[in-house]
């Protein structure tokens, strides 16, 4: 079993089922004791801003704010892609508590060690 799970979300409200699946898997993994690193790219980047996750709706899916809370309280981390943030004029000071901005070098350093499983949604 992987000791760490790194999940990259490439979709937001533009592909709600794929987006919700990524957040759900991350929250379930964190609740199961797996170390989780969730990366927000593309349109999912918006969910790192206060209040934006509450705007997301998908029938029969857990609310995104609850999933984010589960990830962070479960010891997981949330990272916003540097380029994605820049394209949307988002700065670190704009993010929800517990989120950060980092680039491809950090992503690669997280996915390369033994015992890490990477998923892309």
Question: pLDDT (tens digit, 9 = 90+) per residue, 84-95?
Answer: 999 999 999 999
Mean pLDDT, residues 56-83 taken together: 97
Q: Is the predicted pLDDT of residue 1 greater than 70, yes or no?
A: no
Question: What is the residue extent of each domain of the chain?
Answer: 5-118
What percent of the chain clears pLDDT 70, i.e. is strictly above it? 98
Residue 22, pLDDT score: 98
Give 25's pLDDT tier (boundaries 50, 70, 90): very high
| Three-state secondary structure of 8-53 | EECCCCCCHHHHHHHHHHHHHHHHCCCEEEEEECHHHHHHHCCCCH
Homologous superfamily (CATH) for 5-118: DsrEFH-like (3.40.1260.10)
Residue 20, pLDDT score: 98
């Amino acid at each position: 079993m992987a000791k760490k799970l790194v999940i990259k979300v490439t979709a937001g409200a533009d592909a709600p089922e794929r987006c919700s699946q990524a957040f759900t898997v991350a929250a379930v993994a964190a609740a199961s004791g797996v170390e989780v690193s969730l990366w927000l790219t593309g349109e999912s980047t918006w969910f790192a801003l206060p209040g934006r996750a509450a705007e997301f709706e998908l029938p029969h899916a857990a609310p995104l704010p609850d999933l984010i809370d589960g990830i962070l309280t479960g010891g997981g981390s949330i990272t916003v892609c540097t380029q994605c943030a820049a394209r949307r004029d988002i700065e670190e000071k704009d993010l929800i508590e517990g989120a950060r901005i980092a680039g491809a070098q950090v992503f690669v350093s997280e996915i390369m060690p033994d015992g890490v499983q990477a998923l892309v949604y």
